[in-house]
Copies of this chain bind each other. A is one copy, B any other.
Amino acid sequence: MTGASDRSRRVTLMDVARHAGVSRATASLVLRESPLVAEPTRLKVRDAVRELGYVYNRGAASLRMRRSHTVGLVISGLANPFFADFIEGVERELRPAGYVAFLANTFDDPERQGMLIRTLLEHQIDGMLIVAAAGSSAEIGVPPEAVDIPYVLATRPVPGVAASYVGTDNRAGARMAVDHLLGHGARRIAYFGGPEDGAARMERQAAVAERLAESESDLDPAWTVPSPVSTTDGQHVARALVSSSAPPDAVIAHSDAIAFGVMRSLRDAGIEVGTRCRVVGFDDVEQARAWSPSLTSVSVKAATLGGRAAQMLLERIRAPEIPPESLVLEPQLVVRESCGCGRDS
């Protein structure tokens, strides 16, 4: 039980690093076959390993990393049915990999998000998937220097944070919606709802305005009212819109949840959806198919998006040193009744 003699002492990674004249971190990267280390350095470390007879124990290395097989899933608001599909996509990838997700709900509040991220970090998670609260930035809500574990941003990029990201081409989605409505003869098109500081909302609204300008129409500022992503809020804000003297002849809603409320307000005002006012949503949530009229929607492929984000996170957990990646999925317009398809004559 007394200390072993110096000669029989096991060679450590530190010995290898010193012998090769590199840092311990660099030696570790080489042993984990990271592509980040330049070839000459790699060779020096490999030589040191051979000369000292160092044995790299993968099992012990993995134990040292103490993986909990748990990831944090930070969500901006479960009231939006988009997240049911998104989370299902995430879990579908995590499950076969033996990972479990703990969800935390920020209610689109960046301060609360910062607190939740710090709390998750205290609970031994291996990585994080973040749908950032509107208004998040490098300063508020996502403390990048504090997040010392792999993480991926999903659906909403965060200004100033160069992290891995999976999202949708919001501009392309908005253009699809405008073009389809223009094709139906709509000319007074509103872009409606969504969180005030939301990056997705700003991208989509800008693309709608651009496309309308190209067709010599304007996006009336009165028709770009922000709102939280919920049916009740959509219904409430739409009331003022539809009771104006010159209401729009088409509405692109920031999300299906908002579109459901807009459709109800239109109906209550005696404005038939699909003829006098056409409605297109975003997200293509489960209930869009069943609603009356069924909702035409820009599918952002929520489940696929969640699945790809989870894959990217699992890859980062396996190889934290790989540089941030960005994956932007193409949206798809799913045509149903609310745009007027099958109703025009």
Contact = CB atoms under 8 A, between A and B. Distances in A.
Interface of A: 68-70, 78-79, 81, 83-84, 87-88, 91, 100-105, 107, 115-116, 119-120, 122-124, 230-232, 235, 260-261, 263-264, 267, 286-287, 289-292, 294
Nearest to A123: B123
B84 A232 contact: no
Given A68-B122, A123-B124, A290 B105 contact: no
Contacts of A123: 68, 70, 102, 123-124
A120 B123 CA distance: 10
B230 A286 contact: yes
Contacts of A290: 231-232, 235, 260-261, 263-264
A100 B79 contact: no
A283 to B, nearest CB: 14
B105 A91 contact: yes
A95 to B, nearest CB: 8
Contact of A78 (B87, B267, B292): B87
B231 A287 contact: yes
17 contacts: A68-B122, A69-B119, A70-B123, A79-B88, A87-B105, A91-B105, A100-B119, A102-B103, A102-B123, A123-B123, A231-B287, A232-B290, A263-B292, A264-B291, A264-B292, A267-B292, A291-B292
Contact of A70 (B79, B103, B107, B119): B119
Enumerate the 3 nearest inter-chain pairs by beta-carbon distance, A residue then B residue, closest first: A103-B103, A102-B102, A264-B290
Nearest to A288: B231
A23 to B, nearest CB: 32
A123 B292 CA distance: 45
A191 to B, nearest CB: 20
Contacts of A115: 100
A292 B294 CA distance: 11
Contacts of A286: 79, 230-232
Contacts of A230: 286
A79 B68 contact: no
A122 B264 CA distance: 46
B104 A103 contact: yes
A84 B88 contact: no
